[in-house]
Structure 1
Amino acid sequence: MPANTTASSPKKKGRRARLLVLVLVLALVAGVGYGAYWSISTVRASFPQTTGTLELDGLKGRVEVKRDDYGIPQLYADSDEDLFLAQGFVQAQDRFWEMDVRRHMTAGRLSEMFGSGQVETDAFLRTLGWRRIAQQEYDTKLSAETKKHLQSYAAGVNAYLEGRSAEELSVEYAALGLVNDYKPERWTPVDSVAWLKAMAWDLRGNMQEEIDRSLLTSRLDEEQIDDLYPPYPYERNKPIVAEGGIDPATGTFDPAARPSDLNDGGSGANGSDAGGTGDGTAGSPADAASGLNSQLSALSDSLDSVPALLGPSGNGIGSNSWVVSGRYTTTGDPLLANDPHLAPQLPSLWYQMGLHCRTVSAACKYDVAGYTFSGMPGVIIGHNQDVAWGFTNLGADVTDLYLEKLTGDSYTVGRREKKLTVRTEVIKVAGGADKTITVRSTEHGPLVSDRSNQLEKVGDKAPVSNSAPDRGTGYAVALQWTALQPGNSMDAVFELNRAKDFRSFRNASRKFEVPSQNLVYADAKGNIGYQAPGRIPVRSRGDGSTPAPGWDPRYRWKGYIPFDELPYEYNPERGYIVTANQSVIDAEKYPYLITEDYGYGARSQRINDLIESKIQGGGKISTEDMRTMQMDNSSEIAKLLTPYLLKIDISDPYVREAQKLLEGWDYTQEPDSGAAAYFNAVWRNVLKLAFGNKLPKELRIEGECLNVRPADSTAPDDDLGERVRECGQRDGDSAQPDGGDRWYEVVRRLMKDEDNEWWHSPKTRTESATGTRDELLARAMVDARWELTAELGKDASTWSWGRLHQLTLKNQTLGTEGPGFLQFVLNRGPWNLGGGEAAVNATGWNAASGYEVVWVPSMRMVLNAGDWDKSRWINLTGASGHAYNAHYTDQTDKWAKGDLLEWSYGAEAVSARTVDTLTLTPKGASGG
């Protein structure tokens, strides 16, 4: 039976909402071919009870759930056990469908819910073995206290599930029940732990770049590839940690150390060839990858098949965070800002929540609030009564692909043969037959190549050379990844939640092994800090930028960077710390290789400049200033290119009309800016003309044809059919750059070389070939004019960036895979947005496929360490995962405008904003 209800009064919805729910239900039924009729009350049964009293099995004492007018819950309990049990119950009330889909994804069991269409994805995820590693972590690595919290959380989720029918869980379950007999299982502690693997996967670093660099060898020489992967611009874009290094006397990182005090230090090497057994056949990463383009391209496709629940791979994964000392703030106390950039989702990845012990004691140790993940106990980003913290992706290279030489059931290591480790996995399929797969692994990791029909034949085209063993049975590709080893990251979450000062914060960070994140810090005593944590490998040979020869033991990892040698800062003299996926520390000053593929610092340097401008002008930084910085739309690539574009003599008045939009433009990308629309179209065409025809097709991202002049144009006409044919041919033969800040740096380095071969583009029936920088820029301006005429109309004065750059929020399951009309009623949008790729307001778009927003600041917060109740926050969507609940997307309009909500933390402030209170009591209690 469901939990006893002594009083219940869900918020009343308007007539329009009730009608929409009815339409949704009928659409669901029609979509699966049934003629059943569902009443409004049945659909509303899944909405959470937010007032009155509920009795729950497992509770020892009374828990209050106070929700504000945005449905954000603050929980009050007298023991840790009750606090986390209530967290599980409340999150399940709002988000259980999302939680259930996530745990099936991490376990490679999506086919059990959605049928045969998910078998390929499940097979790849079973090969990676996230769930198996999570089980090992739970069994062997996590502390007893962490296990208790996980168990309490699971008990709370299961208390919600107990006795509830499909329609009482969510509309999605009711729909699913019409096509299969799926019923949710009980929640387990390992379901929560496994979600950390999904976090780590989407933030895994440079695996895609490793593949891409190898694929480029089919068409480009080494110098050309170097052009496309320029070094980090330390002279222009500051790293996170400005000073310090590893002290040779102590063997630990010292943020106060001066260059004269340091030598190479540490036990690692930046690109060192040291270590290894030396008993392997000679080989190199280039030799290993040679001839494998089709196979690596298939691997890239396999990676894309994994649901990107945190965000798209590549340049989109990022975030901003910065902290400013009270010396430079209007409050006199530190201010900390954070906004992670992730894939837009509905509901949002984040769930806002407060977890409060009425009295903090040994029995009840938490008084923390912030952003949580549905399905995991604790708070991921936020603050407690003493300290605050934020995350950005550090980008450490924690994955390596190894080309393995196979002979039967063995693989080559040096001069020896070792047996593959083999296991069998059975994938259950809703409405279909089970599928059995075999997962094979080497000492490096699972053979991810086994999951592709092309990759099963890996090595058929590989060269036989002196540097590689005879082909024999063939080659396979193995993945070594830090997250495939059991760790303690779940322990770190709870230790962060309890941290009291910088020392305990660092101790918690020590256990945050995967994913490797930049952690910024502020405390109520006025201190600020930064820590780079994570399990980051030290390579015996090679730099991890391309696949390595697995048969050569000299390419093994020889350990990990010791935590005490990882960079950190505490109260730096400059008075602020900025992290936005840029380099952590100057590679010349640090003996370990963290990665070759940091972000290039466009966002981080803009934030640095904004802070320095305020400080140098004698001003103080306020909470409002921090919010304004988060919404900064300035385009660095526009600052670079626009002066060149304005110097080009455009004779065609139709194109000149568009060029005039750039005159006097301040490079900001507001939603109503016509200049931003035209510039970004020019930038997209520059990338296509300069690089698209020169990159191998294996890298290609399906996109729109760029160079189509509309048939109804009043400008001088070309043969539209011919233009379409040419554009389609070019799109099919080459890759298109995504336009991230790596490409900013690529183009910046070419601008002074007006005749560089990258500026050459071929002649077509409608356009002349280009041989110089200005010729290519002029052609891009022409093509952009026609493109935007088709998209936005002939009158350039009516163009706006927001009409091109739109965000549509999609439900992550039925909203993307269900019938078209069902998607219409589940999804929301579009919103016309400002910002752009590599802007601080990072509403990212992929130049390979159009201007649609594909990653966003998934939340924003500004924390006031002097008075937590003066902090501010916003979520992308809302607290609820129920499509017609009032809190489904009730924060999105404010998010789009850059507004922040008041964030109450103290008991009095929370009570003042409470509109609903639900009291949870032990089973059998009378409600009090």
Structure 2
Amino acid sequence: MSSPVVTKEKRVSLLQKKWQKWLFVIFAILLIIIVMFMGVVYWFVTSSHPELEGELYDDVIREEVSVIRDGHGVPQIDANSAHDAFYVQGYVTAQDRLFQMDMTRRLASGELAEVVGEDALDSDRFFRTYGMHRETQALVEQFDRETAEMVNAYAEGVTAYIEEVFANGNDPIEFSILGYEPEPWTPQDTALVVKYMGYTLSGNYKDELKHYEMVRHMGEDALKLFPNYNEERFPVVTSLENNDDINIPEEQLKQEKDVDNVHPSYEQSEKLVENDTVDDHMEMDHRHIGEIPFSSEDFRELRAYAPSPYNGSNNWAVSGQLTESGFPLIADDPHLGLAIPSVWYQTHLNIENDFESVGVTVPGIPGVVLGHNQHVAWGVTSLSADQEDLFLERVHPKDPNMYLYDDHWERATVIEEEIQIEEEDDPHIERVEVTRNGPVINKVVDDGPYQAISLRWTGAEAGEELNGILRLNRSTDIYEFKEGLEGFVTPALSWVFADQQGNIGYRGQALLPVRQQSTGQLPKPGWDPDYQWDGFIPSESMPQEINPEEGYIMTANNQPIDEAYPFEIGRSFHPYRAKRLENVFEAARSKEEPMTVNDMKEMQVDFYSAKAETLLPKLLDALAVSDQKAVNDQHEGDEEKFDPLGEVEQEVYSLLEEWDYVEHADSSEALIWNLWYQTFADALFEDIFGFSYSNSNTIHDVITKASEHEEHVLFSFLEDEWHQSFPDFARKTFSEAVDEAVELQGENPRSWEWGEFHSMTVEHPLGEVFPLNHIFNVGDWPLGGSAATPGMMGYDQESGNITTAAGWRFVGHFSNDPEFYDILMPGQSGQLWSPHYDDQVEPWIEGELKPMSGSRSERESLKELRFLPER
């Protein structure tokens, strides 16, 4: 009998089935391996998550302390003594934010390179030079007895957690990746965090460098570009004359403010020295800025170390005369750099027979920094004050350690800072020179021995911020609260507060210099005694107000007081968010529509752009003039500077004409408006000076004056140099912005969306590199708003990524049944894959707030960790 014939096709089919079977087996094995690997990784990461339930015996605490975590992981600490409460606060904050705390102190003290390598060396050099770490001991010495106990207990709690988790091998994943163990936490570290927060809200020196370059390019005409100090900036305190809360020394009321119209030449010559005395050649040129031995590149690199220009905030308090309940409302939404974890940490402290406070702090700082207690609620914005000045120094041509002052030479203090670098045997030695005006900061970008710019910052003075935090938490009305702010040096903040008795109040608080000869807009001659600071603005003279007749107080980084105020606070104020918020409050007053908690919540996410409302019509009018001229030239056969508007440009023009100025995420108008404004501002300054300058007050003045056919120094310069009028410039930049929008999102303007470009990815410090960015970062969400809207969303102009926003939103209502709400972006925990890593993102995006943690009876079902004294 013959064998059956197996065809070629059948053999192939059998082989395919076998291969498919084996491929399935291989795939299944690989899948199992991947799942097992991911399981191991997940276990490894989550094994460092803190214990949130059970009992923990401790030989430091004196009585039992309860920590109950609410549904978002917020620790609510019940203790019988301040010592135990702050010890446990330090412990539980480290549970959630230890890596963030260590990164903050390393960044501020210039010790990053020790754990991340040479890439962080330049940053370390700058912060070692800036010198915050050298100032912390003086701050610690200002502690009163109770504050010292608070800070020491907090530091002990942080250190106890460090020792526990590293002894058990449960250290957070970031430490495993970088391969190091943090040092114990100290009171000096807490003081350093306070100083660092002050640094993040300073940075005026960046503008001083830009202003100096403007004057070098244009001479004294450039002084007309600097922001004005006047009532167009929507002052918080609207009248100094009618304010009984501010006490101005009589001699100050009689003085007129000088302007920055004089500056030194800076010639280098050996003639400057003759027997160690000053030659006549050292006399200051009172009319022009001369040549100084710094390049534009040096200035550009030095500006890069300044903090974000968007750091600001909104807050307001509304008295009962304007509210539905007859009791005060208060709201706060600080705008700082977005990051994961958040710069803020939610906390609830209940200390028996002392105080109960709920709100947020900064990891590393004990107590509640923003929020409320049983009697008072409070919030802050940046005062936008000028706390620092640059000084040009004259260096002895034969001895670079000698600096001129008055008619003699003074030797700088030299400090050698050792910077350890990962995987390097020898440290980098940073030679820091400190003159009477402060550390010489330009050596970070240029080591030339005969050029120097020093920086003086009021934050270098010892303050009472930590004493004050304890006073604020214990205050029983706004008067005690306002007194508690005495001695706060930095950050420079606008505090708004309300109490259960129905009062509302405001105080601008910081240590600010009294300048003798200038407004602080330009670097000063460090050798001239007339430019030294003449002490500081007296505390009782700082802007402040209790129960204003308007019935509300609002701050949004706007001018703090009217132009009658005799002291110089600063010039970098932001008018547009304040304008919108003021319009909302005034509308409620005029219509006699009582305000509610929901009104407060809606205002915090309001995307109406008062900047667009103010400036866009002026730009559109200029564009129409330029287009009509192009049409006329075409008809008459004249040489055209521009073609008439094209089809896409006409469509965009029509959209902008009809726009309601609300910057929704799906708004095409918001996209083209923001691109046009930024193109206009960048081109205007980059064409002339070689750098962008987005000070909103200056751009406002440029566009307003040019649109009203008033002469403006910038367009006078452009007309003379390049024969470009305001309409020409509006047309040129409009076309460039439309081209950019087409490149980004196609040729149909009605399909453009602001949120497609303007979106938010929140980054972790380790999320800058692949593949860690996909593990640690969260997002990408399309969002509306901009830096000019009350719902503030500052963004990177190149990528569109939102980098600054309200990381914490808070609304409070004192009434017979008080209500307090907040939300934290992105979440409470810094522990990767914790359920609270980013669980507040969605409600934050939707503009929702959650009730703040309540009484113990409301928390019985939540997780509880009990700290017990050692048996």
Alignment correspondent of 2:869: 922
Decide which of 488, 507, 512 is 1:512's aligned counterpart: 488
Matches of 1:675 and 1:93 in 2, distance apart?
45
Q: 1:451 aligns with which of 436, 444, 460?
A: 444
Superposition TM-score, scaled by structure 2 size = 0.86
Aligned to 2:188: 190
Aligned to 1:499: 475
Structure 1 residue 136, shift from structure 2 partner: 2.1
Aligned counterpart in structure 2 of residue 809 of structure 1, from 762, 783, 802: 762
Partners of 1:271 and 1:593 within 8 A in 2: no
Structure 1 counterpart SS, 2:78: strand
Q: Deviations over 1:833-871 (max 9, x none)?
A: 111122111101355x35332211121111112267521
CA 1:583 to 1:330, structure 2 compared with 1: closer, same or farther past 3 Å? same
Q: Within 5 Å, which residues of 2 pair with 1:521-540?
A: 521-540=497-516
Q: 1:205 to 1:424 in 2, by over 3 A?
A: closer
Deviation at 1:673, TM superposition (A): 0.8
The answer for the alignment partner of 1:558 in structure 2 is 534
8 A Cα contact 1:285 1:546, kept in partner: no
Aligned mates of 2:137, 2:161 — CA distance in 1: 24
Counterpart Cα distance in 2 of 1:779 and 1:761: 17
Alpha carbons of 1:867 and 1:81: their partners in 2 closer, same or farther (altered >3 Å)? farther
Summarize the Cα distance change of 1:779–1:444 in structure 2 as closer, same or farther, 3 Å threshold. Answer: closer
Match status 1:681 vs 2:675: yes
Shift of 1:74: 1.1
**Maintained 8 Å contact 2:135/2:460:** yes
Residues in 1 aligned to 2:390 and 2:53: alpha-carbon distance in whole angstroms: 53
Pairing partner for 1:379 from 368, 371, 395: 368
1:442 paired with 2:435, answer yes
What residue number does 1:254 align with? Answer: 244
Check 1:288–1:679 CA distance in 2 against 1; reply closer, same or farther (3 A cut).
closer
1:147 — aligned with what?
148
Equivalent runs, 1:388-403 vs 2, <5 Å? 388-403=377-392
Structure 1 residue aligned with 2:548? 572
Q: What is the alpha-carbon distance in structure 2 between the residues aligned to residue 616 and residue 394 of structure 1?
A: 29
Question: Contact 2:827/2:838 (CA < 8 Å) preserved in 1?
Answer: yes
1:897 aligns with 2:846: yes
> Is residue 2:566 matched to residue 1:617?
no
Query: What letter is aligned with 1:687?
Result: A
TM-score computed with the length of structure 1 as normaliser: 0.81
Q: Which moved further from structure 2: 884-893 or 896-905?
A: 896-905
Alpha-carbon separation, structure 2, partners of 1:64 and 1:332 = 36
Which secondary structure state, in structure 2, belongs to the residue aligned with residue 788 of structure 1? helix
Structure 1 450/214 Cα, relative in aligned 2: closer, same or farther at 3 Å? same
Counterpart for residue 820 of structure 2: 871
Distance 1:268 1:495, change over 3 A: farther
Q: Distance in 2 between matches of 1:92 and 1:72?
A: 13
Asked if 2 retains the 8 angstrom alpha-carbon contact of 1:489 and 1:512, the reply is yes
AA at the equivalent of 1:161: I
User: In the alignment, residue 794 of structure 2 is paired with which amino acid?
Assistant: G
CA distance in 2, matches of 1:299, 1:132: 25
Change in 2 beyond 3 A, CA 1:230/1:557? closer
User: Partner amino acid for 2:680?
Assistant: V
Change in 2 beyond 3 A, CA 1:413/1:857 = same
In 1, the alpha carbon distance for the partners of 2:41 and 2:246 equals 68
User: CA offsets per residue over residues 568-607 of structure 1, 9 Å max, x none?
Assistant: 11111111111111111122x2221222x13142111211
Mark the CA change 1:893 to 1:486 in structure 2 (over 3 Å): closer, same or farther: same
Deviation at 1:189, TM superposition (A): 1.2
Moved more, 87-96 or 103-112: 103-112
1:205–1:395 CA contact under 8 A, matched in 2? no
Map of 2:395 onto structure 1: 406
Q: Which of these residues, 314, 319, 322, is aligned with residue 325 of structure 1?
A: 319
Aligned to 1:4: none
Residues 1:824 and 2:774 aligned together: yes
What SS does the aligned partner of 2:392 have?
Answer: strand
Residue 518 (structure 1) shift: 0.8
Residue 258 of structure 2 corresponds to 271
| CA separation of 1:667 and 1:489: change in aligned 2, threshold 3 A | same
CA contact (8 A) 2:215 2:221 kept: no
**SS of 1:457's equivalent?**
coil
CA distance in 2: counterparts of 1:80 and 1:654, whole angstroms? 66
Percent identity at matched positions?
30
Question: Hey, what does 1:74 align to over in structure 2?
Answer: 76
String of CA shifts for 1:68-89, please: whole Å, max 9, x gaps. Answer: 1111111111000110011001
1:290, 1:888 → 2: CA distance?
A: 53
Q: What is residue 265 of structure 2 aligned with on the other side?
A: none
Q: Quick check: which has more Rg, 1 or 2?
A: 2
C-alpha displacement of 1:203:
1.1
Query: How far has the Cα of 1:132 moved from its partner?
Result: 1.7
Aligned partners of 1:342, 1:305: CA distance in 2, in Å? Answer: 16
The verdict on how the C-alpha distance between 1:867 and 1:299 changes in structure 2, with shifts beyond 3 A counting, is farther
Where do 5+ consecutive residues of structure 2 fail to align? 1-29, 261-277, 628-643
For residue 652 of structure 2, what is the amino acid of its counterpart? Answer: A
Q: Distance in 1 between matches of 2:819 and 2:574?
A: 34
**Structure 2 residue aligned with 1:840, among 774, 790, 800?**
790
Which whole-Å deviations, capped at 9, do the CAs of 1:727-786 have from their partners, x for residues lacking one?
A: xxxxxxxx23337454234322322128867459999xxxxx873333333333322222
**Pick from 221, 224, 243: which aligns with 1:223?**
221
Q: Distance in 1 between matches of 2:546 and 2:206?
A: 34
Quote the Cα distance in structure 1 between the aligned partners of 2:845 and 2:743: 26
Select between 636-645 and 677-686 the one with higher mean Cα deviation. Answer: 636-645
In the alignment, the residues of structure 2 paired with residue 863 and residue 869 of structure 1 have an alpha-carbon distance, to the nearest angstrom, of 8
Is the contact between residue 618 and residue 704 of structure 2 (CA under 8 Å) also seen in structure 1? no
Residues 6-85 of structure 1 correspond to what in structure 2 (within 5 A)?
39-85=41-87
CA change 1:530–1:757 in 2 (3 A) is closer
Q: What is the distance in 1 between the residues matched to 2:114 and 2:453?
A: 28
Unaligned runs of 5+ in 1: 1-18, 28-36, 247-252, 274-278, 459-473, 698-734, 764-768
Q: Which residue of 2 aligns with 1:424?
A: 416
CA distance in 1, matches of 2:402, 2:680: 49
Counterpart-to-counterpart distance in 1, 2:843 and 2:853: 18
CA distance in 2, matches of 1:861, 1:285: 50
Measured in 2, the distance between the counterparts of 1:45 and 1:164 equals 10
Deviation at 1:118, TM superposition (A): 1.4
Cα deviation per residue 1:273-330 (whole Å; 9 max; x = unaligned)?
A: 9xxxxx99643687677424417x5255245347x5xxx1x3x121111110011111
Aligned length: 795
Match of 1:353 in 2: 347
**What does residue 787 of structure 1 align with?**
740
Match for residue 605 of structure 1 among 576, 579, 586: 579
Tell me the equivalent position of 1:634: 608
Aligned to 2:588, what secondary structure does the other structure show?
helix
Q: Which amino acid aligns with 1:890?
A: D
AA of the residue aligned to 1:85: Y
Distance 2:414 2:598 in 1: 57
Over 3 Å counting, the alpha-carbon distance change for 1:507 and 1:761 in structure 2 is closer
Q: Distance in 1 between matches of 2:181 and 2:668?
A: 51
Range moving further from structure 2, 741-750 or 285-294: 285-294
Q: State the alpha-carbon separation in 1 of the partners of residues 286 and 756 from structure 2.
A: 45
Q: In the alignment, is the contact (CA less than 8 A) between 1:406 and 1:475 conserved in 2? A: yes
Q: Provide closer, same or farther for how the CA distance between residues 490 and 26 of structure 1 changes in structure 2, counting only shifts above 3 A.
A: farther
**Contact 2:705 2:711 (8 Å CA) reproduced:** no
Please say if residues 740 and 837 of structure 1, whose CA atoms lie closer than 8 Å, have aligned partners that are also in contact: no
Q: The residue matched to 2:600 in structure 1 has which SS?
A: helix
- Which runs of structure 2 are paired with 1:698-777 in the superposition (5 Å)? 735-738=691-694, 740=696, 742-753=698-709, 758=714, 771-777=724-730
**CA RMSD, Structure 1 to Structure 2 (Å):** 2.9
**Equivalent residues of 2:683, 2:692 under 8 A apart:** no
Asked if the contact 1:582–1:601 (Cα under 8 Å) also holds between the matched residues in 2, the reply is yes
